[in-house]
Structure 1
Amino acid sequence: MSVEVRHVPASRSAALDRADETVDLLLDGGREPGAVLVLTVGAAHPWQQHELSFGEERYWAQLTEGGDVFYADAELTRPVRRPVVVLVVNGGSAERAATAYTKALRHAEELLVVCGGADPAVAGTALAAVGAPAPRVLPA
């Protein structure tokens, strides 16, 4: 089974807002919170910052427990797969974004939604490198 890829266009400054809207739509559509992983390419998501304020041990325990949406940096090195990954391209270089696409695909089981200002050509190149279809662009 291949991973479906969707691209939600947004400027880097609006990428977090679009990602939050995407997560809300996924949850409203019946996805369980523990089925969603949100990865950021630029600055950490505010919810990740909030969760880290309780300490690293508690933060990582949430990943293991898998009961809620988990927010992390796109360079996440822990082994985790979730049905849905939302990749937020809210900063970083084109190279970092391309690497993040490839890694996010490895974390996604069913759906990868890319929110942000990444160049679709960069995304297409990264996806082709791992044999994934070109992203479907959703209206802004």
Structure 2
Amino acid sequence: AATPGPVPAAPAAPTTPSVSASVPQVQLIPASVEGALDAAEEAVDLLLDTGRAPGDILVLTTGDPHPWATHELSFGEESYWAQHDAGDDVFYADAAQVQRAAGRPVVVFAANGGPLDAATGALPVALARAGALLIVCGDAQQINSVLGAGV
């Protein structure tokens, strides 16, 4: 009887899963439109306090921009997006620009106003950009209707 040859090895699993390879955990922090940005700030502080690297966090806003984004944009779009691309600090962007923002392990989404469809259109993309965790700060009923009940 012939002895079997070596069995081919299964392909190696990627060491870093793509952002779309797994479904991130979703956490909802109920907040009013006026309180959503403050709730997002508290979430970022807690993430940093528990050891999450600043470059792991992307914060998206649907209404007024975060003061950091306003300040950084005053130096021009090129400088602003260069900081995003460097990836070494928390990055704040308007949810309308979510297509331009690269995925990060944690996305904090502040539904702090803006056009009615701002959250509806950007939330699914924010979910796709979140590698491990999506934290949504805003109206629970609206968010559940977009992402599915029970979030």
TM over 0.5: yes
Match of 1:127 in 2: 147
Letter of the 2:59 counterpart:
V
**Cα offset, 1:94, TM superposition:** 4.0
Alignment of 1:36-47 (within 5 A): 36-47=57-68
Of 106, 115, 125 in structure 2, the residue corresponding to residue 84 of structure 1 is: 106
CA RMSD of aligned residues (A): 1.5
Q: State the match for 2:31 in structure 1.
A: 10
Q: Secondary structure at the match of 1:12?
A: coil
Q: For 1:27-82, what per-residue CA distance to the aligned partner results, in whole angstroms no more than 9, with x for missing partners?
A: 00110000000000111111100111222111000111000000001012215110
In the alignment, structure 1 residue 20 sits paired with structure 2 residue 45: no
The 8 Å contact of residues 83 and 110 in structure 1, kept in 2 or not, is answered as: yes
Which structure's CA Rg is the greater one? 2
Secondary structure of the corresponding residue to residue 62 of structure 1: helix
Moved over 3 A (4+): none
1:112 counterpart residue number: 134
C-alpha spacing 1:22/1:63, structure 2 compared with 1 (3 Å):
same
Gaps of 5+ in 2: 1-21
Deviation, 1:93, is: 4.1
In structure 2, the CA distance between the partners of 1:104 and 1:13, relative to structure 1 (3 Å rule), is: same
Tell me which amino acid in the other structure corresponds to 2:121.
Answer: T
- From 77, 87, 103, the counterpart of 2:125: 103
Q: Give the total of aligned pairs.
A: 129
Alignment partner of 2:96: what SS?
A: coil
Give the deviation of 1:97 after TM superposition: 1.4
Percent same amino acid among aligned pairs?
Answer: 52
Unpaired stretches in structure 1, ≥5 consecutive residues:
136-140
Task: Give the TM-score, by structure 2 length.
Answer: 0.79
Deviation of 1:134 after TM superposition, in Å, equals 3.6
